[in-house]
Structure 1
Amino acid sequence: MTQPLDFHSFRHGQFDITVLSDGPITLGGEIFAPEGNPDERAEIVVRLEGADNTAAAQSNIPLIVTGNEMIIVDVGAGNRFQPSEGRLEANLDAIGVKAHDVTTVIISHAHPDHMWGITRDDGTLRFANARYYVGRTEWEFWMGEAADALPEVLQPFVAGARRELSAIADRVKLVEDCDEIVPGLKVLATPGHTPGHISLVLNGDVPLIITVDATASDIVSFEHPDWSFGFDMDPGRARETRRVLLDRAVADNAKLLGYHWTYPGVGRATKNGETYQFHGAVRSAS
């Protein structure tokens, strides 16, 4: 599945937002729904337009424009995680934005599909004129001794995180819950998927919450909120965070934007007993 060029754009308060992509990644049913049985996984894969126990997970990367600020949230993996990725810069070009135009890059967490695209293959910064923002807890985890204790299978994640974070060490600002990055855009701590995962809240008539991987699936995270996502590093804490986040979204009638959700990944949540339902927005083209 390729990302179309008629990108979804919308206005939210003072922000103009276009949902771009670095390209989808392919995941197995056991990643989307580790606690699901084979029949439940098969149904989820079909609903995600997949087959043979695999489906695409999108990478919905918002470009946020306000005043003179041009902000992106996460940068994808470049071409370093799966071969279907590496399209963000070309997609920016398609809407007339050059990498050097980006003023601010916010990294939600240090998993490959969200931040391995910080540098180019030659080691230079892709967004050379940008300021970078990373959660303090996230930075300290991946750059500290705690990450060395992760299982051997995850050590490539550690090496990649350290490579990319080291490249921005002289221009990064570490942020915490409720910090304001630009007027009207604040950090929301949503730990569990990773130790210092952050989401973002944008002011408007209602809030817009960019959930990233705190709610990793527009199906599973809503309909089975107590199930984990295969890459959750602390499933118990991720579960608690997910319910708090979704309850807040319902109470505030917030607009939501999710990273791996079916493109464009924008909509709202309602509550149905102990579960939730995602209602996708009507898509518009830029």
Structure 2
Amino acid sequence: MTLTRRKMLKNTGLALAGMTGLGSIAPRSGWAATELKLGTTQIHSLSDGHLILPPDFIFAPMPKDELAPILSEYGLGNGPLTPSCNVTLMRDGERTVLFDTGSGPAFQETAGELVDALDALSLSPEDVTHVVFTHGHPDHLWGVLDDFEDPLFSEAEHMIGRSEWEYWLDPNTVDTIEEARTTMAVGAKRRLEVLEDSITLFDDGQEILPGVAAHASYGHTPGHMAFEIRQGSNSVMVVGDSIGNHHVAFARPDWHSGSDQDQATAAKTRMRLLDHMAADQMQFIGYHLPEGGLGRAERKDSAYRFVAEGA
């Protein structure tokens, strides 16, 4: 087991608590927003908090007249959007796998709560055996390091798609990415460089872990990946940000979204995934979908709607 500075401080804190008679602090409850079992595999959706986003971050490219009734239907006004951040945890008896690591403390004050969520399940970062990234945006990647810039999940193997890795490590990305995303590029490169000697890369279609297959879902970022977790005939798809919200992404998946780096490719990916999952009535977990993100896609006329299955 690797001894990190975070562990040393944690152990010191526990010792002091014992000396003062305070004992350990009980974890906060209610973090595991959804729970699903696939045979012997247990899946939780853990809350990393939520984001605060200006509406134009998503809606800017969309036709305003057609958008208005959709926003009204879902009770969305002119104020900021506050999407949930749902980190998927998978346990199969041998492995404890996180899909993404949340925002950490350096992105938004309303996010970065993953460690507390793990604690509510009596897990620590050191219990995680594998970290699998959907992509390199801040709310999915920046939680990978602790306050000392060391890997937070110190015992884990870290895994990311080869195309995504190459994009964020490319020194030209910071100069070619949209100006508003420059900080994202700098932050992703810095964090991934810390993992450079121990990262495992994978490609589309590869079984990256037993029962876990990677599926290219490009567009939101150049190398975004979704993951199908399967046991026998049952499966659930971890879609990351390839389906980024429960309203416009379902009502008009063909529309370009301001949140996507390659908007045309992302729309094609979104339509393909929704068509496949609706046809098969396949469960999925979306990183920014409500009620823990677990649900199904149901056809609604020529579009879809999100049917939540969370608590």
| TM-score where L is the length of structure 1 | 0.91
| Further displaced range: 252-261 or 2-11 | 2-11
CA distance in 2, matches of 1:201, 1:15: 13
Indicate yes or no: 2:255 matched with 1:227: yes
CA distance in 1, matches of 2:71, 2:46: 24
> 1:191: which partner in 2?
218
- Check 1:223–1:42 CA distance in 2 against 1; reply closer, same or farther (3 A cut): closer
CA distance in 2, matches of 1:87, 1:193: 24
Could you tell me which runs of 5 or more consecutive residues in structure 2 were left unpaired when the two chains were aligned.
1-27
Q: 1:142-221, aligned counterparts within 5 Å?
A: 142-147=168-173, 148-204=175-231, 205-221=233-249
Indicate yes or no: 2:80 matched with 1:23: no
Contact 1:29-1:45 within 8 A present in 2 as well: no
- Secondary structure at the aligned position of 1:277 is classed as strand
CA distance in 2, matches of 1:22, 1:46: 27
CA distance in 2, matches of 1:33, 1:14: 41
> 1:251: which partner in 2?
279
> 2:293: which partner in 1?
265
- Check 1:225–1:99 CA distance in 2 against 1; reply closer, same or farther (3 A cut): same
Correspondent of 2:157 among 88, 112, 131: 131
- Secondary structure at the aligned position of 1:203 is classed as strand
- Check 1:173–1:41 CA distance in 2 against 1; reply closer, same or farther (3 A cut): farther
CA distance in 1, matches of 2:145, 2:68: 35
Correspondent of 2:106 among 61, 80, 103: 80
Q: Which has the larger radius of gyration?
A: 2
CA distances 1:45-69 after superposition (whole Å, capped 9, x unpaired): 8836x65421211111011001210
> 1:92: which partner in 2?
118
Residue 9 of structure 1: how far off its partner (Å)? 1.3
Could you tell me which runs of 5 or more consecutive residues in structure 1 were left unpaired when the two chains were aligned.
none
Letter of the 2:259 partner, please give it: F
Letter of the 1:89 partner, please give it: V
Correspondent of 1:59 among 79, 85, 94: 85
Number of matched residues?
281
CA distance in 2, matches of 1:79, 1:26: 15
- Check 1:230–1:282 CA distance in 2 against 1; reply closer, same or farther (3 A cut): same
CA distances 1:239-276 after superposition (whole Å, capped 9, x unpaired): 11111111111222210110001121111112234311
Contact 2:125-2:153 within 8 A present in 1 as well: yes
Residue 7 of structure 1: how far off its partner (Å)? 3.2
> 1:5: which partner in 2?
31
Letter of the 1:130 partner, please give it: A
Correspondent of 1:237 among 236, 240, 265: 265
CA distance in 2, matches of 1:231, 1:164: 22
Aligned-residue CA RMSD (Å): 2.1
Contact 1:192-1:232 within 8 A present in 2 as well: yes
Contact 1:29-1:41 within 8 A present in 2 as well: no
| TM-score where L is the length of structure 2 | 0.84
Letter of the 1:210 partner, please give it: V
- Secondary structure at the aligned position of 1:93 is classed as helix
